[in-house]
Structure 1
Amino acid sequence: MDVSSALQLSNRQVQVQALGRFLIQVSYGLLNFYIPILFVNQVGLSATAVGFALSLCAITEVGGHFVGATLADSPRFGRKVVLSLAAASGAVVALMLMVAQSLWLLTLASMMLGISLGCYWTASGAAVMDATTSEDRSQAFAVMGVAEYIGIGLGVLGGSALLTWVDESPTLLFGGCGAMFALFGLLIQVLMTSDYPSRSPHERSGQGMVAALKDRVLLVFMLANVFFTTYVALVSSTIPLYFTNFVAGSDPIPGVSVGSTAGLFTGCYIGVGAVLQIPTTSLLTPLRRIFVLMGAMVLWAFGFALLWAAGTFAEGQFIWAIVALCLLSLASVAYKPFFVATVSDLAPPNLRATYVAVSSQCWTIGYFIGPLLGGWAMDQSPLIAHRFWLVVAMSVSVCLALLWAFEVLHTRTALQPSEGEGTA
């Protein structure tokens, strides 16, 4: 770990946001893992109905991003108020789930969860930007990434362990999530500062959103990052099914099976990401960001190509699968901090939450495209399912072209400040 990374670990406000990220990710992870199991197996709702209810979370999250951005960039409210709102709404969701026995209440809770998510991610990202300088933001977001990985890992493992308690007192899980949301709210109220960049008295909040949506540099960057978020969604939604249905059973080395897929993911994808996030970011920080982003995309391509190899060649499938997951994890930890730091550099200080909200739509789009394409591919013949990963690997070339177009446009805009489009 270099000096800059150590400074981010000692930055009080980064520490507060990292601890909050950990609590939030454990809570969200447990909810996402446990809601389908409880409401299908215990309440008796159909899997289709539960899936539809949960899909509405993504729709309301879009609204949460924009409402959160408007409030977070407002001198009247600010980041701290929006994060407190996210904590309060999350706690309400947990209470609703404790008593929910019907589809309409589950749907309402899912929609409120989306609002909570949107408010949290927008205000949290802006708060980290406020607490750091441009040179230090990559390391700061790397620290946040470690907290995120650990939170997700504990959420997944905790959810798996709590499966054995379903018949006894399943609502205790939601009560625990509510307690963590409350603890997050207390953390924000006590330890977070309420500083935020002041807005011009002649500038209305709606004008900030219009300015962000007119920023061609930001929009091109968003288009490139839709590929990244789609790849992340494919990892979580499609690869487990691929391993289970198209890889397991052909290799004499055990491992890629239903029982071991969760452990394989926790160790090779989540675990590797948690360990390598800060060292990788520290190593790559001196490099030009566009080359870091493009290099990470090349790693995505190699990782997806190895998934094809794992399903195509019978010999050593387990080894190919491990190497593929490790490469995909390394690609993610290399890309994400610099992606967020680049957005922060594009944003004027008084519009940081707005720019985060707009750029966050990459995740909404990616998590719509990824499961849709991946689900279609996994319903096809083994030949198509295997070659699907080669097509995904080749799609990286389009993202590389978009990243280069972004760099050219960004450079031109920086040289013409009078014609700038919202870049810092």
Structure 2
Amino acid sequence: MKFSPKNSLFPWMPQLNPQVWILAFGRFLSEVGTGFTLFYAPIFFVNHVGLSATAVGFALGSASISGVVGRILGGSFSDSQYWGRRKTLLLSAAISAIASLVLASANNFTVLVMGNLLVGFGQGLYWPANESVVADLTVPEQRHEAYAITRLADNLGLGMGVVLGGALISTTGAYRSLFIIDAISFVVFFGVVYFAIKETYKPVDAKVAISLKSSWQIALSDRRLLIYVLVNIIFTTYISQLQSTLPLYLKNFVALNASGAEFTEGTISIIFGWHLAVAIFTQLPVVRGLKRFTHPQSLMFSAVMWAMGFCLMWVTGVATDYQLWWAIAALSVFAMAIVSYTPSASALITELAPKSQLGVYFSISSLCWAAGYFIGPPLGGWALDQTPAFADNFWLGLAASVTVLLGILDYLDQMLKDRI
């Protein structure tokens, strides 16, 4: 399955099925809308609506509750000959658009939770189907770069959304319009999938087909997958801190410089824009550099990057000068941590999963994100509701937890090598 257009303007780019590029373009458009809201929602609901950081953290984490249901259904639908990947993506986009409109109208804790429950359900349906489509359209040796391209599209969209969102807030202060733009982006993504993406699921032979219940039982008895689940929950808990805890920490706890000036929303948007720019420009080089290593070893590299980033964020909080530069350094390292994590994690699932159970395996992998985002935002919100010293040292605690992650990954690496 090779696609190598001779007249390509970018011969250094991976040669992939055209539908992978179309899907990546659709993801780029939807992530532009997500970037408008992702980093500003905590600031808006705490500083403008008047909710506590703990309440907002809980509301953001509530998306993981419905996300569990969405991910289970998303994996099951994706492996169903009566439903398939494409319809699951369309349903996800429709629900996500509605969720953004609910959040645009939220003015109390109850509506905020309702909006986030819809957000979680839409995201839950999306990920197993999306990852399965990419696997369907590629061969194993292409998947590292294929998943890197889709993540590149994510980061490009997020980067543009964060920068444009920050500019909009700085000039108008119209936070609620960000959620409306997010809803529009999901409608556009719906259109891309509807008109340009074909169904990629191919039902297995009836003689080897297994029931839905048996498929989940087989997956949940795979020890390698269960160890990976623990690893993935830890990683996604880390990622959730960047999106829910870190913006509010910079805004409310860190001085911009020695004079005591605060980080503004505009400054925060620039920092996160830089973070995403680093991710964009390092995505393919990092993935290609890690191809020589096993998937667990690539994840170990990511874990070390997370520890370094958390330590730099601690320095940002306790430093008496150059706080802006310490924050930029921390977000740069976090970018390296993410670009080395996401493609390796997805490619590892395709190695573990039988072809007939790809959707279910990706569903379980996606459930880890639900778990991580259920743990992360409330944990970070609670830490920020404590003393400033506690909030600063929270980052050191996260860095220390990486030692446990490295031990688990080394064990998983040995287990996979023993199976060869």
TM-score by length of 1: 0.83
Partner of 2:203: 198
Q: Structure 1 residues 38, 263: closer, same or farther in 2, change over 3 A? A: closer
Equivalent residues in 2 for 1:3-18 (5 A)? Answer: 6-8=13-15, 10-18=16-24
Q: Distance in 1 between matches of 2:411 and 2:250?
A: 36
Of 235, 239, 244 in structure 2, the residue corresponding to residue 232 of structure 1 is 239
Task: Please say if residues 230 and 369 of structure 1, whose CA atoms lie closer than 8 Å, have aligned partners that are also in contact.
Answer: yes
Structure 2: how far apart are the matches of 1:277 and 1:40?
33
CA, structure 1 residues 186+389, in 2 after alignment: closer, same or farther (shift >3 Å)? closer
Residue 218 (structure 1) aligned with residue 218 (structure 2): no
Contact 1:87–1:116 (CA under 8 A) maintained in structure 2: yes
Q: 1:63 to 1:286 in 2, by over 3 A?
A: same
What is the CA–CA distance in structure 2 between the aligned matches of 1:97 and 1:378, rounded to whole Å? 23
Is it true that 1:26 corresponds to 2:28 in the alignment?
no
C-alpha contact (below 8 Å) 1:5/1:278 kept by paired residues: no
**Alignment partner of 1:410: what SS?**
helix
Query: Per-residue CA shift, 1:46-90, capped at 9, x if unaligned?
Result: 678877665443211111111111111012221111111112323
Check whether the contact 2:58–2:377 (CA below 8 A) recurs between aligned residues.
Answer: no
Helix, strand or coil for the counterpart of 1:7? coil
Supply the distance in 2 between the matched residues of 1:344 and 1:178 (Cα, whole angstroms).
31
**Shift in CA distance, 318/195, structure 1 to aligned 2, threshold 3 Å:** closer
CA contact (8 A) 2:166 2:266 kept: no
Partner of 2:327: 321
Deviation at 1:39, TM superposition (A): 8.2
Is 1:265 the counterpart of 2:263 in the alignment? Answer: no
* Paired residue type of 1:238: T
1:199 to partner: Cα distance: 3.2
CA distance in 1: counterparts of 2:325 and 2:111, whole angstroms:
45
Q: Which residue is 2:280 aligned to? A: 274
Does residue 251 of structure 1 match 2:258?
Answer: yes
Q: Give a deviation string over 1:111-148, Cα, whole Å, max 9, x none.
A: 33322211111100110111111111111111111111
Partner of 2:191: 186
Against the structure 1 CA distance between its residues 40 and 318, is the aligned structure 2 distance closer, same or farther, given a 3 Å change threshold? closer
Q: In the TM superposition, what is the alpha-carbon distance from 1:213 to its structure 2 partner?
A: 1.6
Question: What is the CA distance between 1:323 and its match in structure 2?
Answer: 1.8
Aligned to 2:406: 400
Report what 1:420 is aligned to: none
Corresponding position of 1:421: none
Q: CA separation in 2, counterparts of 1:280 and 1:230?
A: 22
- Distance in 1 of aligned mates of 2:237 and 2:105: 35
Residue from 59, 71, 77 that aligns with 2:77: 71
> How far apart in 2 are the matches of 1:32 and 1:104?
19
> Which position in structure 2 is the counterpart of 1:297?
303
- Pick one of 155, 161, 167 that aligns with 1:155: 161
1:364 maps to which residue? Answer: 370
Q: Identify the residue that residue 145 of structure 1 maps to in structure 2.
A: 151
Measure how far apart 1:359 and its partner are: 1.0
- In structure 2, the residue matched to 1:418 is none
Counterpart amino acid of 1:231? Y
One-letter code aligned to 2:320? A
Q: Is the 8 A contact 2:162 2:269 kept in 1?
A: no
The CA deviation string for residues 235-292 of structure 1, in whole angstroms up to 9 with x for no partner, is: 222233333444416636x887235541343233222112211222122223333322
Amino acid at match of 2:273: G
Q: Partner letter of residue 19 of structure 2?
A: Q
Point out the more displaced range, 93-102 or 324-333: 93-102
Deviations 1:339-393 (Å, cap 9, x if unpaired)? Answer: 1111121111121111111111221222232233333333344443333322221
* Residue 403 (structure 1) shift: 0.5
Which whole-Å deviations, capped at 9, do the CAs of 1:168-219 have from their partners, x for residues lacking one?
xx88666544443332222212221212142353411222122222211011
Give 3-state SS (helix, strand or coil) of 1:272's partner.
helix
**Which one-letter code corresponds to 2:117 in the other structure?**
M
What CA distance in whole angstroms lies between the structure 2 residues aligned with 1:101 and 1:323?
35
Distance 1:13 1:309, change over 3 A: same
What residue in structure 1 maps to residue 5 of structure 2?
A: none
- Is 1:90 the equivalent of 2:90? no
Between the two structures, name the one with larger relative contact order (CA 8 Å, sep ≥ 6). 2
Aligned partner letter, 1:119: L
Aligned residue number for residue 6 of structure 2: none
Contact 2:85/2:199, CA 8 A, preserved across alignment: yes
Using a 3 Å threshold, how does the CA distance of structure 1 residues 38 and 313 change in structure 2: closer, same or farther?
Answer: closer
* 99-108 or 273-282, which deviates more: 99-108
Provide structure 1 residue ranges, at least 5 long, that are not aligned to the other structure.
416-424
Letter in 2 for 1:262: I
Contact 1:62 1:118 in 2 (8 A): yes
Contact 2:159 2:276 in 1 (8 A): yes
Moved more, 19-28 or 156-165: 156-165
Change in Cα spacing, 1:255 to 1:221, as seen in structure 2 (3 Å) is: farther
Deviation at 1:336, TM superposition (A): 1.5
1:257 is matched by which residue type in structure 2? F
What is the number of equivalent residue pairs in this alignment? 407
Structure-2 separation of matches of 1:99 and 1:88:
18
Cα distance change, pair 368–175 in 1 and its aligned pair in 2 (3 A): closer
Q: Tell me how large the CA RMSD over aligned residues is.
A: 3.3
Could you tell me how far 1:165 is from its partner in structure 2? 5.5
**Residues 255, 318 of structure 1: 8 Å contact kept:** no
CA contact under 8 A between 1:22 and 1:147: conserved in structure 2? yes
Partner Cα distance (1:338, 1:119) in 2: 21
SS in structure 1 of the partner of residue 14 of structure 2: helix
Equivalent pairs: percent with the same residue? 36
Deviation (angstroms), 1:25: 1.8
Cα pair 2:138 2:146 within 8 Å, conserved: yes
Cα distance, 1:369–1:285 mapped onto 2, change above 3 Å = same
